Each structure stands twice: as structure tokens, then as C-alpha cells.
Structure 1
Amino acid sequence: MKHSRGRVLDVTTLADLDRRLAAGARSLAGWRVVGLDLTDRGPVLLERSLAQSLFLGCEFADGDDDAVRRAGGVVLHEIPGSPVDPFRSRLYSPAELYDAPRYPDTVDARAYAWSRGPWTPDDTLAMALHDHHVDEALEAWVVGRRLVGVMGGHALARGSAAYADAARLGHRLGDGATVATGGGPGAMEAANLGAFVPGGQADLLEESLAHLAQVPSFTPDVGAWARAGLDVVERVDGPGRDSLGIPTWHYGHEPPNVFATAIAKYFRNAPREAVLLEICNAGIVFLPGAAGTVQEVFQDACENYYADEASVAPMVLVGRRHWTEDLPAWPLLQALARGRAMEAHVHLVDTVDEAVEVVGRGGLSRPDGG
């Protein structure tokens, strides 16, 4: 993937590099050349101005990297010991994270084990660079998309009525928007599943729910849990619908679900939480959850509290009893919203059907009793 933004140009294939050089580029200022084998390109590169150019994880012939530095370019080589590519230019697919038959051998599991330390300075640099490049790839992926978030508890078991409701919510929301979740198990997986199954295939969704119920949880065997999900993916005739997952190795004991077609996985949780809420320009549906979901409710509320009316996105809390009695976040949210631009955009409903209705009409009016 390559994209231009201002003076920054990402070059991630040799074909693109050769095309640009052959077209007469004389200066590489603002170029980021990522992950390329440049052992045969040194002479042609050194004929150009290399000031303010950046070469990330590229391979050079002996001495060429030093020559590039003397010419004003910045060269960062691969960082030894990292199980992930710190300079990756695209989001993950499920196949990339689950790239081995045994879960402990996968990139996902090895990255989690590595992230738990102890760290060297090279390790912390690799994690920071990785998250930066995932951030860049995510920024490019969301352009032009109407994204609606679904937040909820990670412990929701496959086979439960609440899991099925979350999947049906994702399925219906996916008809008019791209669904984004925290990318993990439970309600997040269910919403990504529903979004993945093509529109109008409610029977396939029900069959998928029945199949997944045979492996209710990622404990004690993440591999079996993931394989059941991959079985469902293979049953879909043709490509599923796009959806987004934004998980984190900070909670690496919660594996990423396989139904998000694009996965922005971060090492650090704080930027991941912020960006997940920020990109949901069509609103967020909050299913019943515990501390993590409550945190997301009020983090999103803070953004809306200080936003002007044109920037406020709907907030829809599903489960009247949960949000007023079990974890009474709703009264505080109402109090925060009173008199603010966000007041007409916060909603409390009882069913996922009501939530879809609110998001579908842009959250411009409150359902009866909300």
C-alpha cells in the first residue's frame, strides 16, 4: 500500500520505486521507502538528492546505507528480536496473526509473549515504530468509510442469547456502514461476525452462530476457538463484508477474533482506545459490559462533551436495566449531556433493533422513553 499526504510519500514496492525514478524524480525529499531490497538500487538512488528521505527496514549492498546517510537520508535497519515488522505498511489480516497450526507458534502469541518483557531499548523502539505504522495504515484504511462502533464485554460466550443479539446487531449495522470493534472476543467478535456475513444472509448467520457455540470461549484453548471461527469464514460464499478490529497486545490474553477483515493491532492500549473511539464517525453502540466498556462510554462522552454540534456522533447504550441499575452509567451520562450539543445524541434503548434505528437516522431524535 502507498499513499501521499502533503510532502510524505510511502513507497512499499520495488515496482513503484522504479516507476517513480524512471519518471524523472530527482529528489526523494519526503519519501519513506519501506521494507525493500535495495541491493541493486544503490547507484541509481545516489544519483538523486536524498536529503529528508527515510529508508525503513530496507536492505542495502555493503556500504550503500552509509552512502545514503552521507547524502542526507535517514536509514533505520530491521530491529533484531522483534516478532513483528516495525515498518509494516498495512493492517493485519486474521491469516497473518494466526499463521501457524498451533496458537503458541503464531505471530499473535509470540508478539504477546515478547511484549511482556523484559525489554531492551531496541524492543521499545520496535514497538513504538510498529504502533506508529499501524496508525498510519489505519488512517489510510478509514478514508471515505462511514464507521459505526460496537463496544461490549469480552467475556460474552458464544451460544448465549446476548452473543447472538450482538451478531445480529453487527449484521444489520453492516448494511449501511463499516462496523468497528475492539477486535477481541465476546461482544466484539459477535459484532464483527455479523458484519462479516453478507447482507441478506440471515440463515447463514444463524448457522454460523450454531457452529461457534460448540467452542463457547477462547479458554482453555485459543487454537480451537480460532479454528471454529475460521471454519465459519470458509463457509461464506465469496468474500465477506469489510469490518475493522482494533485489539491490543496489552490485553494479549484476549486473542483477536477472525471476523474482522482488517485488524489494527497495537502494543500500547491508550492510543488504541483513543483512535477506536475517534474513527467512529457514524456513532457507537455500547452493549452491556464491565469496567472496560464503562471507560469507553465516558471517554466517548468526553469527546462529545467538548465537541460542536456538527462533530457529535450518536451514543447508544443498549440495556436499560444494565445501564441504570447494574452499572448506572446512564444517569451520569444524562447529567453530563444536559444543555450541551451532545444532549440530543445520547440514547438509552432496550434492544439491538432500537439501536440500529437510532444509528440509521443519525441519532437526531431520542426514542420514546430515552
Structure 2
Amino acid sequence: MPTPPDRPRRAARAQEIESLAEFDRAVAEHGSLARCRVQAVDLTGRTDALLRLDTTDAVFLGCPMAPEAAARVRASGALVFPPVPGLPFDPYRGCPYTPDELFASLEEGYEATPDARAYGWFRRTTADGDVFASMLRAIHDDAVSDALDEVLDGRRVVGVMGGHAMARGTVEYAGAARLGRSLARAGYTVATGGGPGAMEAANLGAYAAPFADTMLDEALVPLAKAPSFRPSVTEWARAAFEVRARWPDGGTSIGIPTWFYGHEPPNAFAAHIAKYFANATREDGLLARSTAGVVFLPGAAGTVSRRLRRRWPD
């Protein structure tokens, strides 16, 4: 039997560093940053390390650092993509969003939150047709996809799809919440479109999974006082955070919303929020990551038809 030709060796994957703890661990274990990909880590306090370590072929994405450190790592063969000033989001982020992050400053009203400000930026730059803004949106969405894949690695994900019009306080909303709770208790990771209505209900159910059954019944009462995000996103969101404050450390689920529909705010019950600028990327990503099945709730017809048209056009 002839000897098969040698296969080319696959290059080792570059190490990704997405936190200061990971940076310090890499320095301690390897004494080098060569070929590392350092993503959205504030390195202003690590100047000594950056001045002495090998950074050949390293890439620094949106990492604040002292000017002398930036000059040195560039001179030693690294690529440095500096933070972009004035943005209400980080295009190089290394992790999904959290509800606390997107709704920061909610006490001043929803308009003051990072979520609302990012939507405002999206609307302005889309209207302007600014190619630089388009590039930033694409980088951001790719970074979010990478972060989401890391969170979901090895998990059995069930997508729950439904409309935003399902109001709190209705039988349908309570049923969707119980569905999310049952899925989470069965060991599945619930993933939704991350918005209000049926999506919020499923994320709420997953959040309630670690608690006694009575918790969900009790939580539905204060939520019903703000049944919809219209007319006030602020009051709607505050009701959710009141539930979270009363029952902290709930179960984990995923929300995948979009600023394309920025008038629909993300819900506060998904632990990890992968929010995109491009709706097509978000919709395809949600379906593709639902590895253990998809549940369609009332109001999902428009969402379903858009996905089907994209896969099987006329």
C-alpha cells in the first residue's frame, strides 16, 4: 500500500485574551504575547509588561494603553486597532451584553441608557451612509457572534420564537413563561429574539427555573402593571428590574435582539444578550444556534416567513 502524502499541519489557533485576568494568566504562563489576540481589554495598567514582552504578530483590538506601550508593540510587529472615541458601544467587545449594561442609567429614563443611545447612533449613521460607520457595525456584529458562540459552546439550545405584541398579564404570556421554565429545568438553554412579548416571557421562565414554582406566579403580578413597552419603555423595563431585584441570580438564557428594530427594547431576563445591528445576521444566527429544536409561539408568523423566504426564495 503506498504511503499517503503528508498532510499539511494546521496552524495552531492564536490565543484569544478577553479580560485582564486572562492577560495576566497568559503573561505568567507563557512570558510572551506573540500571536495573541487581545480584545477590548484596558491595558493602561500593564505598560511594564507591554514594554518588555514579545508581541510579534499579536493583534490588539480596542485596547486602551499608554502611548509608549502602543508605540513599542507596533514597532515589535503587532497590529494595534485603537478604541474609537465617541461611540455608545464597543465594536471590539469580547462578551455578550448583560441587561445591567444595556439598561445602565435607566433611573434617568430609557433615553439615557446605552441601548437607546446605540439605537440613536445606528439611525443617524444609517441615514448618513457613512462607510466608516458601516465598517464599525460589521466589526461589532462579528465580535458579538464570536462571543455568543463561546457562551453556547456545548449547550443544547432551544429557540423560542414569538411576537412582541404578547402582553404581560395575559394567559398567553404566562404560558410562554412556563414553557421557558420547563425547557430550562430540562437542561436546555432557552434562546429567543430577546425582545418584549413572547420573547420576554420565555426568558422570564428560564430566569425563574431555579426558584420554587410560586416565584413565577408572584413575579407575573408586578410585571402585569406595565403590560407593554408602549407607551413607556422606562416603566416597562423598571418593572422587570424590580422582579430581578426581588429574586436575584435567576437562571441563564439567551436573547438575540437587534437595533434594526430598536423601537423594541431588549428584555431584562436574558442573562446573555447578543444584540446586533444587522437584522439578517441576527435572525440567521438565532435559527442556526437552535441546535436542539425551535418552538414557535403566537405572533411568530412574520419572523418565520422572513427566514423561510431567505432560505427558499420564489
TM-score range, shorter chain: 0.7 to 0.9
- Counterpart of 1:213, as a letter, is A
Q: 1:41 to 1:190 in 2, by over 3 A?
A: same
Provide the identity percentage.
46
- Note if 1:103 corresponds to 2:113: no
How far apart are 1:226 and its partner, in Å?
A: 0.4
CA contact (8 A) 1:185 1:257 kept: yes
Q: Is the 8 A contact 1:185 1:254 kept in 2?
A: yes
Q: Which amino acid aligns with 1:32?
A: V
In structure 2, the residue matched to 1:13 is 19
Check the 8 A contact 1:79/1:126 in 2, yes or no. no
Superposition deviation, residue 9 in structure 1 = 1.6
Out of 242, 250, 256, the position equivalent to 2:266 is 256
Partner of 1:203, secondary structure, is helix
The higher-RCO structure (CA 8 Å, 6+ apart) is 2
State the SS of the aligned residue for 1:104: helix
Flag the 1:211–1:6 CA change in 2: closer, same or farther, 3 A. farther
Match of 1:117 among 124, 129, 134: 124
Q: Could you say which residue in structure 2 is the equivalent of 1:54?
A: 59
After TM superposition, give the deviation of residue 34 of structure 1 in Å.
3.1
Structure 2 equivalent of residue 70 of structure 1: 75
Corresponding residue to 1:293 among 303, 306, 314: 303
Aligned to 1:227: 238
Conservation of the 8 A alpha-carbon contact between 2:26 and 2:32? no
Aligned residues: CA RMSD: 2.3
Aligned mates of 1:211, 1:40 — CA distance in 2: 47
Tell me the equivalent position of 1:345. Answer: none
Residue segments in structure 2 that go unaligned for 5+ positions in a row: 1-10
State the one-letter code of the partner of 1:190: A
Report the Cα distance in structure 1 between the residues aligned to 2:252 and 2:200, rounded to whole angstroms.
14
Change (3 A) 1:266 1:146: same
| Other structure's SS at 1:72 match | coil
Within 5 Å, give how 1:167-246 maps onto structure 2: 167-176=177-186, 177-199=188-210, 201-236=212-247, 238-246=248-256
**TM-score, normalized by length of structure 1?**
0.74
Pair 290,180 (structure 1): closer, same or farther in 2 beyond 3 Å:
closer
Matched AA of 2:244: V
Which residue number in structure 2 is paired with residue 272 of structure 1? 282
Instruction: Give the whole-Å Cα distance in 2 for the aligned partners of 1:23 and 1:86.
Output: 29
- Counterpart CA distance in 1 for 2:66 and 2:210 is 51
- Going from structure 1 to structure 2, the CA distance change for 1:79 and 1:212 (only over 3 Å counts) comes to same
Distance 1:6 1:155 in 2: 48
Shifted more, 17-26 versus 109-118: the winner is 17-26
SS in 1 for 2:120: helix
The reply to whether residue 163 of structure 1 matches residue 163 of structure 2 is no
Alignment CA distance shift 1:186-1:6 (3 Å): farther
Structure 1 gap ranges (5+): 304-370
What is the one-letter code of the residue matched to 1:103? Y
Q: Kindly tell me: are residues 50 and 160 of structure 1, through their superposed partners in 2, closer, same or farther at Cα, counting changes over 3 Å?
A: same
CA distance, structure 1, for counterparts of residue 110 and residue 221 of structure 2: 23
Which letter maps to 2:112? D
Aligned length: 296
Aligned-partner Cα distance in 2 for 1:72–1:162? 58
Report the Cα offset of residue 212 of structure 1. 1.2
SS in 2 for 1:52: coil
TM-score of the superposed pair, with normalisation by structure 2: 0.86
Distance 1:26 1:193, change over 3 A: closer
Contact in 1 for aligned 2:20/2:41 (Cα 8 Å)? no
Deviation string 1:82-141 (CA, Å, 9 cap, x unpaired) is: 101112111111110110111100001000011002354442232222212111110100
8 Å Cα contact 2:39/2:92 also seen in 1: no
Query: Partner letter of residue 289 of structure 2?
Result: I
Q: In the alignment, is the contact (CA less than 8 A) between 2:37 and 2:61 conserved in 1?
A: no
Distance 1:225 1:27, change over 3 A: closer
SS in 1 for 2:83: coil
Contact 1:7 1:30 in 2 (8 A): no
Structure 2 residue aligned with 1:81, among 86, 100, 107? 86
- Provide Cα deviations, 1:35-71, integer angstroms capped at 9, x if missing partner: 22246526x4354443321011223333442332232
Aligned residue for 1:116, secondary structure, equals helix
1:145 aligns with 2:155: yes
